[in-house]
Structure 1
Amino acid sequence: MPYSVILAHPRPGSLNHALAQAACAVLEERGEEVRLHDLYAEGFDPLLQAQEVARDASLPSLVAAHCREIAEAKGIVIVHPNWWGMPPAILAGWVDRVLRPGVAYEFLEGDGGEGVPRGMLKATAAVVVNTSNTAREREERVFGDPLERIWKDCVFGLCGVTNVRRRMFETVVTSDAATRRAWIAETEALVRDTFATP
Structure 2
Amino acid sequence: MVVAEHGVTGGRHAVILCHPDPASFNHAIAGAYCDAVRAAGQEVVLRDLYAAGFDPVLKAAERPTTVAAAYGQDVLDEVDAISGCDVFVLVYPIWFGTPPAMLKGYVERVFGAGVQPEALQGRVRTDLLGGKRLVSFSTSAASKIWLDEQGQAQGLNSVFDQYIVHAFGMRSQEHRRFAHIVPGLNARFADQYLREVTVQAQRTCAQIAFGDEALLADPALVTRMAR
TM-score with structure 2 setting the length? 0.77
2:74 matched residue in structure 1:
62
2:204 and 2:174 map into 1 onto residues whose CA distance is: 7
Find the counterpart in structure 1 of residue 213 from structure 2.
Answer: none
Distance across 2 between alignment mates of 1:70 and 1:151? 20
Quick one: distance in 2 between partners of 1:149 and 1:85?
12
In structure 1, the partner of 2:7 is none
Q: Quote the sequence identity (%).
A: 31
Out of 121, 145, 150, which is 1:142 matched to? Answer: 150
The one-character-per-residue Cα deviations of 1:91-127 (angstroms, maximum 9, x if unpaired) are: 111011011154xx556xxx5x794331321453221
In 2, the alpha carbon distance for the partners of 1:68 and 1:114 equals 21
TM-score (norm 1): 0.87
Pairing 1:131–2:175 present:
no
Say which is worse superposed, 142-151 or 157-166, in terms of deviation: 142-151
Q: 1:160 aligned to 2:160?
A: no
Q: Is the 8 A contact 2:42 2:205 kept in 1?
A: no
Bigger mean CA deviation after superposition, 128-137 or 144-153? 144-153
Indicate which of 79, 87, 95 corresponds to 1:83: 95
SS at match of 1:127: strand
Q: Conserved in 1, the CA contact under 8 Å of 2:125 and 2:131?
A: no
Question: Match for residue 39 of structure 1?
Answer: 49
Unpaired runs of 5+ in structure 2?
2-11, 211-227
Unaligned runs of 5+ in 1: none
* Native 8 Å contact 1:6 1:79 kept in 2: yes
Aligned to 1:98: 110
Q: CA deviation at 1:154?
A: 1.1
Contact 1:72 1:123 in 2 (8 A): no
1:20 aligns with 2:26: no
Q: Give the Cα separation in 1 of the matches to 2:130 and 2:87.
A: 8
Q: Contact (CA 8 Å) 1:106, 1:117: kept in 2 or not?
A: no
Q: Of residues 177, 194, 197 in structure 1, which corresponds to 2:204?
A: 194
- Report how far residue 69 of structure 1 moved: 3.7
After the TM superposition, list the runs of 4 or more consecutive aligned residues in structure 1 that deviate by more than 6 angstroms.
none
Q: Distance in 1 between matches of 2:17 and 2:105?
A: 13
Matched position secondary structure for 2:21: coil
